[in-house]
Amino acid sequence: MIGTVRLDARRVAAAILALWSLSTGVRAEDAANEDAARHVIIHADDAGMSHSVNVATIEAMEKGLVSSASIMVPCPWFLEFAKYAKEHPERCYGVHLTLNSEWDHYRWGPVASRDLVPTLVDPDGYLWDNVAQVAAHAKANEVRIELRAQIDRARQFGVPLSHIDTHMGALVSRPDLLDVFVELGEEYDLPILFMRRLSDDAKRAYPTLAEKHDTILRRLEARGVPMLDELLQFYGGDTHEARREEYLSALRQLKPGVTELIIHCGFDNEELRAITNSASRRDGDRRVFCEDDVRRLLADQGVKIVSWKQLREQGRGPAGR
């Protein structure tokens, strides 16, 4: 009778890593260190939304830690940020694919002609107010028309694109809209905002994404598309200090792999206060991620700041995925 052999998973992994290193010429300890490395994309959403947001986002990219931004092409201040992006191609810019217009007195319509996308607009001719309305009314073929128009307009104005993502998660609200998102990434050869693993909270918040996750993951992996391991975004914090500590705590606890931390930059001024009640939080995000203390924390933690542009240029990303 053959006795049972119990294998230590860590020893097996170490042995496999050693054999792999012999065949590739890469030292096993270097590969192990890289596998445990932590990378973070500090990403500013909503560029192009307003002048205040544009100036704050640019400051956070030039003087702070923001390594990536995504642009809302339908918004009135798109041209200002597009001009900056064209003049600074070394930085990282995505298209924040936008299907809704959520503020009470500051609205925008589609980039495509309204007669081509009638199910995307409300009775006043603006994009729907919220994601639920988009999910209830939008036809997928019209969504494709509009989002192509947004990407094409960004390229027309010279924005060097690194990726595409989705404003307020509208593109993960229905299976057919999620399909459009994936297909646009393939059509324009751009990475999409997608995570290798979903938390339980994310699965509950985005059931469509949870349902189709594994299928899309295999599809993206087959094409060698770089992806995120984790996605973080925080809306809480009653005070600037509480919100700042939430960010610092999250940065201390980053997991190995590539994490995107989404923030929203702005200046708490009359323009932004007239648009949104989040002006002070956006101002706080800008200030936090322009702090030298935050830069030192990341350095002390051994966390490397990267961008979507770098992930795209390096294929499967810095963590070797």
pLDDT in tens, 152-192: 999 999 999 999 999 999 999 999 999 999 999 999 999 99
Nearest-angstrom CA–CA distance, 31 and 34: 5
pLDDT in tens, 121-162: 999 999 999 999 999 999 999 999 999 999 999 999 999 999
Check pLDDT > 70 for residue 2.
Answer: no
For residue 254 the two structure tokens come to 């980053």
pLDDT in tens, 204-232: 989 999 999 999 999 999 999 999 999 99
Task: Return left, alpha or beta for 290; rule: phi > 0 is left, psi -120 to 50 is alpha, else beta.
Answer: alpha
The pLDDT of residue 122 is 98
Nearest-angstrom CA–CA distance, 137 and 132: 9
pLDDT in tens, 63-79: 999 999 999 999 999 99
Q: Return mean pLDDT, the chain.
A: 89
Mean pLDDT (whole number) for 254-275: 98
Helices 28-35 & 9-24, crossing angle to 10 degrees? 120
CA 260 to chain centre: 6
Domains in the chain, please, with CATH? 1-33 (no CATH), 36-313 (3.20.20.370)
Check pLDDT > 50 for residue 320.
Answer: no
Check pLDDT > 60 for residue 52.
Answer: yes
The pLDDT of residue 174 is 97
Check pLDDT > 50 for residue 293.
Answer: yes
For residue 71 the two structure tokens come to 């642009």
For residue 173 the two structure tokens come to 């609200």
Band of pLDDT at residue 36, cut at 50, 70 and 90? confident
The pLDDT of residue 35 is 62
Band of pLDDT at residue 17, cut at 50, 70 and 90? very low
pLDDT in tens, 234-247: 988 889 999 999 99
Check pLDDT > 60 for residue 30.
Answer: no
Nearest-angstrom CA–CA distance, 292 and 193: 28
Output the CA torsion sign for 68, 73, 79, 83.
positive
- Residue 128 CA neighbour count, 13 Å, CB half: 19
